[in-house]
Structure 1
């Protein structure tokens, strides 16, 4: 299903003219060697573009005569047709002579009968260099580019000055040779039934082209389909003949996936997973999807927020109910696994289905918060607040994939998510229940009980709910009230009960809370403002009226409710303080006017 979806995406992009056809790949070229008809080097054109301190290769459509176009073996005998890295073009480094001979042999094998003067000039250039290394000296000792070429990594192709085409790779004979393809009698082929399309008697691809762009895979590329050890084989079949896929289909799905991974608008990072997404036909959801999950750019912090608001509004107005109700949308999460690529998740649904589930995700995470907090939390911001020291590299890789999968499926969030946030709250004495952590707990609990129906459970609201039926919720509120009393009685304390007792209170409240209730009398006596004391006593009475007894132990879900009650009450103190300040300011202003 994954490869079929990618193959269909290739067909769509080919019809749009935005992807290379069969026999070609999208690649980058750094230097163009300009030759005369005798194969002599006339000049070197630097095609690289600068982006800060980085040099970016110029995009080219390049002939791909096999799967080595993106990844060379160690044999030195798998040169590309009329283009390659400088080590092959000039025969540099280990097995340099073999590499240069491979360049010539590839031309002879594919274009040996050509009368094209440009191709013949390139062959002369290479042959003369093979016979006399001094022939390459003009390039390798070039005052500006010589050292770069000698390193062997830059990509090089040719232009023959007296020919009409931009590069020799665009010569008509090259296109004709590629059209003949690998079905030529010069190549050993095995026929079979393609598992992707069901087409029979097609040439089966032995080793699929490599995929580049999946984060943390090896730079030379990796594969989704690969059988490179005897223990992986069955029925005496070797390599990818164990899972036969047509040569053309293998090339197409890899091109489609590489194009997606190279397009920042259709790719995002979730934990260790590189996520790509596409629709079966052009749709604005493709452009918006990444903004719905990724952290906003620093130079455009409101861009993602506006798209999320547009998504929520469009669902309310029914904008996704017509054509988007049938337009399929694909989401593929890829994770690194040595030389292979693991499938972290794969989701297929209509645009309307995905939009509805994403809307529910944002509603799940809606919570009262300080004005300095983002209006919507990105997946990265949620996950990083669960990681040790709030660092990206400490995000548990499997957790990121499970979280994303639950969002897209509309299923309960993984229990590991709740475990991680509670563990992080206990290990972070300074911040404890930050807004994003409270939002995550609220989202987890509500979705869990929505899925596993419980008539006794009332969904947690966005803000303080003094009528919530859960005693544990009010125990969390009580802890917040006791902390606030201590703060106001002893301003400037280095450590409050939050730092010292939160972990114990949220797990074994019957051990900690009675002691803290006794100590609160001492703290109340130290508060000078008697009206404030009365307010606190009234609040404590209201909260204690909803608590029959302190439990000996709280389950994970109950620890979550404790945290939410604590957070809501803390936010209520903040909101009340702002209201008091606003009322006092208004009274002062009125008094001055009088």
Structure 2
């Protein structure tokens, strides 16, 4: 189903000219060497576009013989057909002769003896350079382009004077040769294609490689391959065990390689995620913005798209896609010389939009104004990784997190464990807004799938009616910390640094002592109204607790973190409101004393 989906994407893009046809590959050419019919260089044409140092090669559909990649190996014998970098075309470097011979061999192998004037002129040009390198001096000493050609990095092809086609590789004989290669096959390598269902078609013994998967071999890797006898059956070798026609193999790999090079790719840990729609859809172009970290120079880039998604249930966005348009998501991870399929999801656009909208709603929480309105997957994961470093993100966790978002299933328990571990180890910040949002999202989604009378859904802001003991213990800890901070302005180390870990796991060992200490801290406060406010808050919070538990399980530890965060946010939400409360409390005390 994955390969079929990729082939359909190829068909869709090829129909509008956005993917090169079979046997061809998208690429750029910097210069054309203009030859006469005898293979002598007459001029050099600069095809680059743009100005100054920003000039870019002109894009073309280039002959892709044998589906080889644009990058070369170290062999020096893998020249492209009628185009390549200047090292091959002009025989530069210690392997110059090898490069030139490879260019000639490619012409002989793929085009054979042909009466095409342009091809013959190019072959003559290369032969003359192989015999006498001075033949190339006109190009290398060119006053304008000689220095660039001498670097060997620019891409070069040929134009032959008085031929009907502008570039030699656009000759009909080249197109015919590539078409024959795509359709040709050994009679013993024919079968029914598993992708298209075509019978007696040429089967790809080995499939073209996939490039662009993060962490995979730079030379490319395969998603369909058989290299050990234990993987084979009925004496079939290599990919004949899973017969796919040469044409279909070329098309699905071309589609996947293009997706991996495009903006339709996301990185989650060690997983490269690509996606596409059955037909043109706004969701296809906006999908990345829903998950990626926005650029530093434009932090609000994806905010509007996320807001539109959240409002789509009311605005009607994506409704026209809801019935028929399928959306495909594939997650790929490196596995030595192969690529593993870690994620494969098919649903309609509206189904995915609904699941992603739920994800953002899960993570909605009250936060300081300086915080991003929505958190990217990367920001969430990096804030629960050791030392807040992206290289420490557990690779499997990233994949499972994305899977749960896209499937609409409970988030992995390892996500909660990682968040709680990071909170306990991060003595300076503890419960950051992003960590509180993650824990809230985990708990609410878990409760949706596994309802419990012991808990109620966690809200965006402080909830004094929450039924969780851990939640109110977290609130109590936040109040005690605030009292300590106000009693000791400028204090370097609070109970957060010293006691948070024990308070959220074994409350009975910590809270009795902290409650004794708070009496000392309250006595140091000058404003009586503030003391009254704190005592009221303590009474209200402790009224939710019958006793201090000996131990909190993971869920209650998560509730503790969210309760602590909510109470801290409530205490610091508005200084003006806080001052008003103090004035009212002092007025109340005076009235009571007067009575």
Query: Normalized against structure 1, the TM-score is what?
Result: 0.91
Q: In the superposition, relative to structure 1, how do residues 94 and 232 fare at CA in structure 2: closer, same or farther (>3 Å)? A: farther
8 Å CA contact retained: 1:71, 1:210: no
Is 1:239 matched with 2:214? Answer: no
Give the superposition deviation at 1:581.
5.5
In the aligned structure 1, how far is the partner of 2:574 from the partner of 2:69?
66
Aligned pair 1:558/2:556, yes or no? yes
Residue 278 of structure 2, aligned match among 277, 280, 283: 280
The partner residue of 2:506 within 501, 505, 508 is: 508
Change (3 A) 1:491 1:584: closer
Instruction: Find out whether 1:42 has 2:42 as its counterpart.
Output: yes
Cα separation, partners in 2 of 1:418 and 1:205, compared to 1, 3 Å: same
Partner of 1:196: 195
TM-score (norm. length: structure 2)? 0.91
**1:217 paired to 2:216:** yes
> Please, which of 430, 433, 439 is the counterpart of residue 432 of structure 1?
430
* Residue in structure 2 matching 1:475, options 473, 476, 481: 473
**Distance (whole Å) between structure 2 residues aligned to residue 54 and residue 506 of structure 1:** 57
What CA distance in whole angstroms lies between the structure 1 residues aligned with 2:528 and 2:476?
20
2:510 alignment partner, SS class = helix
Confirm or deny that 1:446 pairs with 2:444: yes
Residues 298-355 of structure 1: CA distance to partner in whole angstroms, max 9, x if unpaired? 3433331111111121222443344423210011122233433222211110001001
User: Which residue number in structure 1 is paired with residue 13 of structure 2?
Assistant: 13
Output one character per residue of 1:464-488: Cα deviation in whole Å (capped at 9) or x when no partner: 0001111111000000000000000
Alpha carbons of structure 1 residues 567 and 210: separation in structure 2 relative to 1, 3 Å? same
Counterpart CA distance in 1 for 2:91 and 2:226 is 31
Pick closer, same or farther for the CA change 1:575–1:332 going to 2, 3 Å.
same
Q: Name whichever of 38-47 and 526-535 sits farther off.
A: 38-47
Higher mean alpha-carbon deviation, 405-414 vs 218-227, is at 218-227
State whether residues 70 and 221 of structure 1, in contact with CA within 8 Å, keep that contact through their aligned partners in structure 2.
no
| CA separation of 1:208 and 1:86: change in aligned 2, threshold 3 A | farther
User: Residue 104 in 1 paired to residue 95 in 2?
Assistant: no
Instruction: Say whether the 8 Å CA contact 2:530–2:582 is kept in structure 1.
Output: no
Gaps of 5+ in 2: 584-595
Rounded Cα–Cα distance in structure 2 between residues aligned with 1:331 and 1:94: 46
Q: Matches of 2:475 and 2:360 in 1, distance apart?
A: 25
**CA shift for structure 1 position 252:** 0.5
Tell me whether 159-168 or 52-61 shows the greater mean CA deviation.
Answer: 52-61
Is the contact between residue 315 and residue 355 of structure 1 (CA under 8 Å) also seen in structure 2? Answer: no
Residues 222-268 of structure 1 deviation map (CA, whole Å, 9 limit, x = unaligned): 3222335666555443332232211000110111112222222x222
1:521-557 per-residue CA deviation (whole Å, 9 max, x = no partner) reads 0000010001000110111111111111111111111
Is 1:377 paired with 2:375? yes
1:400-426, Cα deviation, whole Å (9 max, x unpaired): 111111000000001111111111111
Residue 286 of structure 1, CA deviation: 0.7
Contact between 2:160 and 2:168, CA under 8 Å: does it hold in 1? yes
2:349 to 351, 354, 359: 351
- 1:155 pairs with 2:151: no
Partner of 2:463 in structure 1? 465
Q: CA separation in 2, counterparts of 1:239 and 1:414?
A: 37
Report if aligned partners of 2:183, 2:247 keep a CA contact under 8 Å in 1: no
2: CA distance between counterparts of 1:206 and 1:580? Answer: 74
Q: Counterparts of 1:54 and 1:215 in 2: how far apart (Å)?
A: 27
After superposition, the CA RMSD in angstroms is 2.6
2:518 is the alignment partner of 1:517: no
- Note the C-alpha offset of 1:444: 0.3
Correspondences of 1:286-301 after superposition (within 5 Å): 286-301=284-299
The verdict on how the C-alpha distance between 1:288 and 1:106 changes in structure 2, with shifts beyond 3 A counting, is: same
Contact kept? 1:385, 1:436, Cα under 8 Å = yes
Shift of 1:107: 1.7
Distance 1:135 1:410 in 2: 66
CA distance in structure 2 between the aligned counterparts of 1:337 and 1:141, rounded to whole angstroms:
48
Larger mean CA deviation between 93-102 and 340-349 belongs to 93-102
Equivalent residues of 2:184, 2:202 under 8 A apart: no
SS of residue in 2 equivalent to 1:61: strand
- Judge which range, 37-46 or 347-356, deviates more: 37-46
Q: Does 1:227 align with 2:226?
A: yes
| Aligned CA distance change for structure 1 residues 53 and 484 (closer, same or farther; 3 Å) | farther
Give the match's secondary structure for 1:213: coil
How far apart in 2 are the matches of 1:125 and 1:61?
Answer: 23
Distance 2:389 2:21 in 1: 43
After TM superposition, the structure 1 = structure 2 runs for residues 17-28 of structure 1, keeping only pairs within 5 Å, are: 17-28=17-28
Deviation at 1:111, TM superposition (A): 2.5
Contact 2:454 2:468 in 1 (8 A): no
Judging changes above 3 Å, is the alpha-carbon distance between structure 1 residues 30 and 208 closer, same or farther for their aligned structure 2 residues?
Answer: farther
Q: In the alignment, what sits opposite 1:589?
A: none
- Secondary structure in structure 2 of the residue aligned to 1:430: coil
Distance in structure 2 (CA, Å) of the matches to 1:98 and 1:188: 34
State how far apart, in whole Å, the 1-side matches of 2:536 and 2:31 are.
79
Deviates more, 1:42-51 or 1:388-397: 42-51
The 1-side partners of 2:50 and 2:547 are apart by: 69
Contact kept, 8 Å, 1:474 with 1:546, in 2: the verdict is yes
Q: Determine the structure 2 residue equivalent to 1:530.
A: 528
Quote how far apart the aligned CAs of 1:578 are. 4.2
- 2-structure distance, mates of 1:41, 1:414: 65
Aligned pair count?
A: 583
Q: What's the CA shift for 1:568?
A: 0.4
Q: Which position in structure 1 is the counterpart of 2:116?
A: 116
Residue aligning to 2:127 = 127
Q: Does 1:65 align with 2:88?
A: no
Gaps of 5+ in 1: 586-594
Checking the alignment, whether the CA contact within 8 Å between 1:189 and 1:203 is kept in structure 2 is no
Q: C-alpha distance in 2, partners of 1:113/1:365?
A: 67
